[in-house]
Structure 1
C-alpha cells in the first residue's frame, strides 16, 4: 500500500490516559539495564521503592500509544519501520506515581524517494491529568524504509547536532543484558522486532535488536550519572539520531563533550563492533 500523505497527516493516533506507580518506574529502570551491578550504590535508588529516583527518560513510555505504525489505516510497511531520531524535553520532574495523558500527532512527513524511504515526524505532549500541567514533550522521527516514492514534496531537513572535532572530555561504559529488550518491552513497546527472531530476520537483522528507546534510556541514565552526579531532576532535554542497531547484551560506550554550563554533546557506540549507535546527541542540564 502506498502512503497517502493527506490521509496520513489527518490520521488520529490514539490519545492515551495512563496511571503509573513506583513499580512501573522500577520496571522501566530495569529495562534499561539499571541494577546489573547490585553493588553500584548510585544506581540502586532507581530500583528501590523506599528511596526511589525516577529516570527522566521514563517520559518516553508515558502516554505511549503503542506500535501505532502496525495499524493498516496508516498504510505503512510496518515491518520496515525503524526509529530514526528522538528527543525529549522535561518541563517538570516526573513524579514516582501519577495519572497522565499522552496526546500524539503526526506533524510532518518527508518522501526521500523510491527505495530510499520516508520520514514521519511525531510529537507527543504528556500532561498531568488532574492539573493539565505539561510534564514532557517527546519528538520522534520514524524512518519508514519501505514507504518512499509516494510523491511527497521535497523538503530541506535541519542539519544534525554537530560532534566536536576533538576527543571527548569524558566517557562511561554501560553494559546491557541479553534480556534487556524482553524486559524493556514490558514498559509498552511490544514490536516483535525486539523479541521474535523470525520478525527480526524478515526485517533484515540476524536476531532481535534492542529498542531504540531502550538505547536512548541507557544513554540518558549514563548522562545523568556522569554529568549530574546521578540527580535525574537535573536533566532538562536530550536528543539524538539512531545510526545503528544494538543487540541485547552488548556494552555501550557513552562519549561526552562539555560545550557550556548545562550543555553537552554526546555519542553512543558499541566498542566491540566499532559502530556508532546514537549520533549527534545533545543534552541540557540545570546549570
Structure 2
C-alpha cells in the first residue's frame, strides 16, 4: 500500500547519461521517422550529417527507469498506466555529450478505494557540462490498484479544454508491429509492452505501445504539420492519454490552430478510438 509521506519523498535516482548520435537516431527511428527514405525533411532525424533530435526525445533523457516497480514504493506496478504527459523544451536538445536527469514525485491524489490514485512526477534535464536546463518533463501515473490509502483528494491537474468543430489539419502516421520492441531500447523496459503474459495480467489482449511512444508519434505530427520540422519552434506540449495504442495501428492527429500554438487530439484509425485527448501545443 502507498504511504503518502514516503512516496512524496521517494529517492528517485539522479541519472547521468552519455548521449551519442546513435542514441538520437535510434529514438527518432523508434517513433516512426524514416519510414519514407525519400522524404528529405525527415532525413536529418536519421542521418548523422546534420543530425537533429526530435523534441520529444527529452522524455527518455536522464530517465531513471521503471522506478515505481520497486517494492518499497508501495505501488501495484502491474496495474499502473500512463495518464498524462507534458514537455517544455528550454533549448534544442544536443545530439551528443552528457545530460543529467533529476526526478521527484510532486503530488499524490487518492481517488478512493477501488478508484485508484494519481501520482504526479517531474524530471528536469540539464546539460552536464554547462548546467543549462534543457527540458522539463512532467507526467501523471494512474495507479489503478492503489486507491484508498488515506492520501489527499486533490488538487487534481485540470485538463486543457477539448477542441470543437472540424480540425484545421489532420495527419496520419503509421506505427509498426514491432515498434514497442524498438522503443523500449530507449530505456523504458516495462514488460507490459513486450510480454504477452504481463499484458494479459494488466487487462490487455496483447502488449500495448508505450504511452511515450504515442507521445513521440504525435510530436512528430505536430512538428510536421505546424513547424515544418523546425525543432527550434517547439515550446510546450501537453496531453492526456485516453486509450492504448496497439503496435501496427495508424495514429491520426487532429489539429486546431490557436493563437501562439494549437489544440490537438489523436485517434487510432483502425478502431476509431481516441487515444490522446486534451492536447495543447505552444510555440517557443
TMscore range, shorter length: over 0.9
Q: Which secondary structure does the structure 2 equivalent of 1:29 belong to?
A: helix
Distance, in Å, in 2 between the alignment partners of 1:191 and 1:113 is: 26
Q: Could you tell me how far 1:214 is from its partner in structure 2?
A: 0.2
Q: Once superposed, which parts of structure 1, at least 4 consecutive aligned residues long, lie more than 3 Å away?
A: none
Counterpart position of 1:266: 264
Distance, in Å, in 2 between the alignment partners of 1:145 and 1:50 is: 45
Distance, in Å, in 1 between the alignment partners of 2:162 and 2:257 is: 11
Distance, in Å, in 2 between the alignment partners of 1:31 and 1:87 is: 19
Correspondences of 1:86-97 after superposition (within 5 Å) = 86-97=85-96
Counterpart position of 1:172: 171
Counterpart position of 1:280: 278
Q: Could you tell me how far 1:233 is from its partner in structure 2?
A: 1.9
Q: Which secondary structure does the structure 1 equivalent of 2:278 belong to?
A: strand
Q: Could you tell me how far 1:156 is from its partner in structure 2?
A: 4.0
Counterpart position of 2:197: 198
**1:29 and 2:48 correspond:** no
Q: Could you tell me how far 1:230 is from its partner in structure 2?
A: 1.1
**1:52 and 2:85 correspond:** no
Counterpart position of 1:247: 246
Q: Could you tell me how far 1:51 is from its partner in structure 2?
A: 2.4
Distance, in Å, in 1 between the alignment partners of 2:95 and 2:221 is: 20
Distance, in Å, in 1 between the alignment partners of 2:215 and 2:9 is: 29
Q: Could you tell me how far 1:211 is from its partner in structure 2?
A: 0.2
Distance, in Å, in 2 between the alignment partners of 1:237 and 1:269 is: 21
Q: Which range moved further: 154-163 or 102-111?
A: 154-163
Counterpart position of 1:103: 102
Distance, in Å, in 2 between the alignment partners of 1:141 and 1:98 is: 29
Counterpart position of 1:19: 18
Q: Could you tell me how far 1:98 is from its partner in structure 2?
A: 1.9
Q: Which secondary structure does the structure 1 equivalent of 2:49 belong to?
A: helix
Correspondences of 1:88-237 after superposition (within 5 Å) = 88-237=87-236
Per the normalisation by structure 2, the TM-score is 0.98
Counterpart position of 2:5: 6
The root-mean-square deviation of aligned C-alpha atoms, in Å, is: 0.9
Q: Which range moved further: 164-173 or 57-66?
A: 164-173
The count of residues paired between Structure 1 and Structure 2 equals: 284
Distance, in Å, in 1 between the alignment partners of 2:18 and 2:50 is: 20
Distance, in Å, in 2 between the alignment partners of 1:194 and 1:253 is: 21
Q: Could you tell me how far 1:153 is from its partner in structure 2?
A: 1.9
**TM-superposition CA deviations, 1:148-206 (whole Å, max 9, x none):** 11011222423211122211111100001001100000000000000011100010000
Q: Which secondary structure does the structure 2 equivalent of 1:221 belong to?
A: helix
**1:257 and 2:256 correspond:** yes
Q: Is the 8 A contact 2:163 2:264 kept in 1?
A: no
Distance, in Å, in 1 between the alignment partners of 2:55 and 2:10 is: 29
Q: Could you tell me how far 1:10 is from its partner in structure 2?
A: 1.3
Q: Which secondary structure does the structure 2 equivalent of 1:122 belong to?
A: strand
